[in-house]
A = this chain, B = another copy of it.
Amino acid sequence: MEKIIRAARGLDKADLVLKNGEIINVFTMKLEKADVAICEGKICGIGTYEGLEEVDISGKFVAPGFMDGHIHIESSLMMPAEFSKAVIVHGTTAVMTDPHEIANVCGTQGIDFMMEESVNLPLDIYFLLPSCVPSSSFDEGGAVLEASDLSPYYSNEKVLGLAELMDYPGTISADKKILDKIKDACGKTIDGHAPGLKGKNLCAYIAAGVMSDHECISIDEALERISLGMTVMIREGTAAKNLSSLIKLFEKPYCDCCILATDDKHPESLINEGHIDHIIRKAVKLGADPITAVKMATYNTARYFGLRKKGAVAPGYDADLVVLSDLNNVNVDMVYKNGILIAEKGEEIFSTNDKYNRYFNDEKSSLNHKNHKYYRIFNSFNMRTLSEEDFFINSSDNINKIRTISLVPGEIATKMEIMDYNQETNGISVENDVLKLAVIERHKDSGHIGLGFIHGYGLKRGAIASSVSHDAHNLIVIGTNEYDMCTAANMVRNMQGGLAVADGSFKEILPLSAAGLMSNLSASELAENMADIRHAAMSLGAAEGIDPFMTLAFVSLPVIPEVRLTTLGLVDVDSQSLISTFEQ
């Protein structure tokens, strides 16, 4: 501290001085031309300073490092180290992540793994604990997390609270298990997820302790939440894009109650669009004040999560800084973390040494020992090899109608549709776009396989399988015939998770061997491989406007209306009950 104080007073040179830039001051809401002096990773002074190292940034802008208020890192398909590289070049220096996906596969071991993989990175990865594992009793995941499983994590300073409480019906029914989780998180941040909740039920949800919501899709929803004291996370990610609907929130006084988040972010959109910089850029294009947008992406986020030394360019703050060459276009020129240059002109400047991806670098023999602490992460498939017979449905002769899951273009929601049943083809009708869907339990070798039919996906031949299947991440496969379905599913099983396309002898895979969710590839490699396998999927005839893998990822999630297929069979979401695939 003495060194910092002396540098601040100008008695000694600072470690680093960013000279002559325009500081984005989140307190005065003005641009202020001054030097930023940095010492021991902290900003020590604003004014005119000399440094051991000096960087002239005349004509450029200095912002606090950007923060993503809510993201599931697993959605990027990257491990934390590669994810870090992909986002820091866009000016992100902190993310608040909910390891909800890996926790559904590997429980607390998944949380431990993500936390361990997140240390010593040039990105602050903070954790909110997954509050709803499993999401539903129809979701046969790899773990059940109770309050007692979560509470030990709160002593970790990287754990900021409880993640999106998506079981809002349970919360406002005062479900004891949920209230216990809230109670344990008391004093920390409790994130919400309550699409459509309003009025007294919303009051109850907030009174229970929930502080934010990232599910607002309309301005009315957002304003009601703000009026009741919630922080609204304006979400603009790969899957859900709410920014343009919520652009009014960048105005006073609402902006003070809002922060920015992506929720889910795929590698291609990280590379092509950017991260939080993309949201700020888009907001400014839509008319937002850039200083306000920067404040929402930095200071507001830090304050919401109780981080007092982050989110501003001022003395005493961590020197997590973004230098922008253009304010309105949010062109990220340089990124500093704790005063260290970590990215410049779109390239990260830190080496992937043995600290990162450590378990991918382990000898396979070591990982395959069952007593390796992360054995389960890299051996998350616990199921037998499938045979073609597993995909046939036993039906009695007098059946002639089926309940199908009908996709709604551009939405995650589905409709139930009654369609004709063709007994000869075991229900599949490529010409009518009625395909077979299977969800195979892959965590506990229960042998549970849910079989059903789906309409609107468009596949003309072959099959597509994936282990990214919210929230339980069972093995899901869609196909035009049982043989290719079996092939594609076994390909995913045999590589311990990933994406697969099969059409006779034509095969394409993308391995996701960490919990069946993440790869050890970089963002650019993943983007390329994703493009290849998506192209393969589209070549089998998937419908225009369908993202083949993202669509598959949601058809098994039994908390989104109207009808879903899980390992236990077809689920009517509204009534939360199993229903028969066959119409009597």
Give residues in A with beta carbon < 8 Å to B: 1-2, 4-6, 8-10, 25, 27-29, 32, 37, 42-47, 171-174, 179, 182-183, 187, 199-201, 203-204, 206-209, 211, 223, 226-229, 252-254, 256-257, 303, 306, 308, 312, 314-317
Q: Is the CB of A312 within 8 A of B229?
A: yes
A314: nearest chain-B partner, CB-CB: B229
A28: nearest chain-B partner, CB-CB: B227
Q: Is the CB of B206 within 8 A of A315?
A: yes
Contact of A27 among B27, B209, B229 (CB under 8 A): B229
A315 cross-chain contacts in B, Cβ below 8 A: 203-204, 206-207, 228-229
A37 cross-chain contacts in B, Cβ below 8 A: 203
A257 cross-chain contacts in B, Cβ below 8 A: 27
Complex CA–CA separation, A256 to B257 (angstroms): 12
Between A173, A182, A229, the greatest number of chain B beta carbons within 10 A of the residue's beta carbon is seen for: A229
The verdict on A316 contacting B199 (CB below 8 Å), with A1-B174, A2-B174, A25-B227 known, is no
Q: Is the CB of B5 within 8 A of A207?
A: yes
Complex CA–CA separation, A36 to B92 (angstroms): 41
Q: Return A504 CB to nearest CB of chain B, in Å.
A: 56
Contact of A204 among B8, B303, B308, B314 (CB under 8 A): B8
Contact of A44 among B203, B253, B312 (CB under 8 A): B203
Complex CA–CA separation, A315 to B208 (angstroms): 8
Q: Return A280 CB to nearest CB of chain B, in Å.
A: 18
Chain A to chain B: the 3 pairs with minimum beta-carbon distance, closest first? A229-B314, A8-B204, A45-B203
Q: Return A2 CB to nearest CB of chain B, in Å.
A: 4
The verdict on A46 contacting B203 (CB below 8 Å), with A27-B227, A227-B32 known, is yes
Q: Return A579 CB to nearest CB of chain B, in Å.
A: 29
A4: nearest chain-B partner, CB-CB: B207
Q: Is the CB of B5 within 8 A of A174?
A: yes
Q: Is the CB of A207 within 8 A of B8?
A: yes
The verdict on A253 contacting B203 (CB below 8 Å), with A5-B174, A32-B227, A316-B229 known, is no
4 extra A-B contacts, CB within 8 A, seeds A2-B179, A6-B174, A204-B315: A4-B204, A28-B254, A45-B203, A206-B315
Between A43, A211, A312, the greatest number of chain B beta carbons within 10 A of the residue's beta carbon is seen for: A43
Contact of A208 among B1, B206, B227 (CB under 8 A): B1
Complex CA–CA separation, A297 to B209 (angstroms): 24
A6 cross-chain contacts in B, Cβ below 8 A: 174, 204
Complex CA–CA separation, A501 to B415 (angstroms): 89
Between A46, A179, A183, A199, the greatest number of chain B beta carbons within 10 A of the residue's beta carbon is seen for: A46
Contact of A8 among B29, B179, B182, B200 (CB under 8 A): B200
Q: Return A220 CB to nearest CB of chain B, in Å.
A: 13
Complex CA–CA separation, A226 to B37 (angstroms): 18
Q: Is the CB of B174 within 8 A of A207?
A: no
Complex CA–CA separation, A174 to B12 (angstroms): 13
Q: Return A198 CB to nearest CB of chain B, in Å.
A: 10
A10 cross-chain contacts in B, Cβ below 8 A: 200
Q: Return A227 CB to nearest CB of chain B, in Å.
A: 5
A2 cross-chain contacts in B, Cβ below 8 A: 174, 179
A173 cross-chain contacts in B, Cβ below 8 A: 5
Complex CA–CA separation, A211 to B204 (angstroms): 35
Q: Is the CB of B179 within 8 A of A44?
A: no
Contact of A47 among B4, B179, B203, B211 (CB under 8 A): B203
A316 cross-chain contacts in B, Cβ below 8 A: 206-209, 229
Q: Return A293 CB to nearest CB of chain B, in Å.
A: 15
